[in-house]
Amino acid sequence: MAKKKRRRTEEVEEPDASWPGEFATAPPTAFFERQLALLSQKVRIYTETRQKRHVVTIIEGLDPKVVNLKQVTSRLKALCAAGGTYKKVKDKYVILIQGDHVDKVKRFLTEELGIPEENIEVV
């Protein structure tokens, strides 16, 4: 006679819905420290013309300790419907988005990440 398998039912504690994203399980101080760090960031957005009139939007000044650059780059690429990447250039991390998307990037940084407009410099 075959044995019946017992299913274990474990109670899974749901994260607190009042804290956004990865901070759902983190203590409240981590969320506020991140918000404070975002408020103090100085970000530059500018365009650069590369080979044969190819325009690239460059975002520099985001701290990789505060912001997940891979996730931000992915979301910006989807928002702008363009290719892009992030990399380290001369001890700075920059995000490169193909095309002229300065307005979209600025709106994303202010609305989604919460960086004040005073701290965003458009060149």
pLDDT tens, residue by residue, 32-58: 777 777 777 889 999 999 888 899 999
Length of the chain in residues, anyone?
A: 123
Domain residue extents for the chain: 42-122
The number of CA neighbours under 13 Å toward the Cβ of 102 is 12
Q: Phi and psi of 35, rounded to 5°?
A: -60, -40
CA dist., res. 47 & res. 97, Å (int)? 9
- State mean pLDDT over 6-14: 56
Q: Which residues have C-beta within 8 Å of that of residue 38, sequence separation ≥ 6?
A: 66, 67, 113, 114, 115
HEC states along 93-116?
EEEEEECCCHHHHHHHHHHHHCCC
Among residues 112, 113, 105, 108, the alpha carbon closest in space to that of 57 is found at 105
Which has more confidence, 17 or 97?
97
- Domain 42-122 fold is Translation Initiation Factor Eif1 (3.30.780)
Q: What is the pLDDT of residue 78?
A: 94
